[in-house]
Amino acid sequence: MFEILQYQFMQNAIIAAVLVSVACGLVGTYVVLKRIVSISGGISHAAFGGIGLGYFLGINPIITAIPFSILSAVFMGGISKKVNISEDTAIGILWSLGMAIGIIFINLTPGYAPDLFSYLFGSILTVPTSDLVIMLLLDIIILLMVILFRREFAAISFDEEFAQAVGMRSDLFYMILLALVALSVVVLIKVVGIILIIALLTIPSAIARQFTYNLPRLMILSIFTGIVLTMSGLWLSYIFDISSGATIVLMLGMAFFVLTGIKKYIEKKK
């Protein structure tokens, strides 16, 4: 197993696994607690518009995906409050528009779009050092924002109406939280791809929530769970020469069902 660590691409993949697990552990906890999984999925698919824009402009698609994802998140969170439509409808509209914009930009780009498949389905084994730097910077921003607004995020996650009743600007902090979801999506794109992002953003926190309700512990356990399962999926994908993103998600799903079953079995025995 250890001989694979001598390869630069595998070293980058391991670093990427740690970085995405940090983002997922921090932001995914709020996603699960506030039950905004659907809007997170909408943001991840809308981010494809930013990927297409990057190809069209001839720059790193990850860079253009950052503002595009944040704008999509803000629109999804705010459009249902400003316009008389449900949040699910707003998510569906912007989800479709983002994907369509991305496809049009790619069609308008001369020549062949390299690595497009990796943005859709992930390819952690091909993450370059430049993307690792971007992912690290985004992780630092996410961590600082979580530390700075930890009380506000906790309040709107557990009881947004009460937070608003005591004078907290819940709408503002909800938008900031969605912006963090957007940044997490950008961190995850090259690892599991747009199609599978929602799994890595929710499953580690869903697993951790079965064992603790303490918010800081929940985040730490989510990060640890993400690291272990992501690296396990990465190793298996290398051994069997199969898709890394799909293998990681499969490991997460299997772990969730196995641990849920074990927990229920233990509870019945008590």
The 10s digit of each residue's pLDDT in 207-254 is 999 988 899 999 999 999 999 999 999 989 988 988 888 999 999 999
Distance of CA 44 to the CA centre of its chain: 8
| pLDDT of 160 | 81
Enumerate the H helices of the chain as residue ranges.
8-34, 37-46, 48-57, 61-82, 87-108, 116-121, 129-148, 150-165, 170-209, 215-240, 244-269
User: Which tokens hold the place of 118?
Assistant: 């990796």
**Conformation bin of residue 156: beta by default, left when phi > 0, alpha when psi is -120 to 50:** alpha
Indicate the range of 73-82, 131-140, 142-151 predicted with least confidence: 73-82
pLDDT band at 165 (very low <50, low <70, confident <90, very high): confident
Mean pLDDT in residue range 176-202: 91
- Calculate the dihedral angle through the C-alpha atoms of 96, 102, 105, 107, rounding to the nearest 10 degrees: -90
pLDDT band at 153 (very low <50, low <70, confident <90, very high): very high
Indicate the pTM of the whole model: 0.90
List Cβ neighbours of 257 (8 Å cut-off, separation of 6 or more): none
- Are 47 and 182 in contact by the 8 Å Cβ rule? The answer is yes
Nearest-CA neighbor of 31 among 166, 211, 219? 219
| pLDDT of 51 | 94
| pLDDT of 80 | 62
| pLDDT of 87 | 72
Nearest-10 crossing angle of helices 129-148, 150-165: 50
Fold of 2-269: ABC transporter involved in vitamin B12 uptake, BtuC (1.10.3470)
| pLDDT of 126 | 87
Residue 81 has pLDDT above 70, yes or no: no
Residue 205 has pLDDT above 60, yes or no: yes
Distance of CA 119 to the CA centre of its chain: 13
CA distances 23 to 51, 116, 188, 205, 226, Å, are 20, 23, 8, 11, 10
* Residue extents of the structural domains in the chain: 2-269
| pLDDT of 67 | 93
pLDDT band at 264 (very low <50, low <70, confident <90, very high): confident
Residue 85 has pLDDT above 80, yes or no: no
Euclidean distance between the first and the last CA atom of the chain, given in angstroms as a whole number: 40
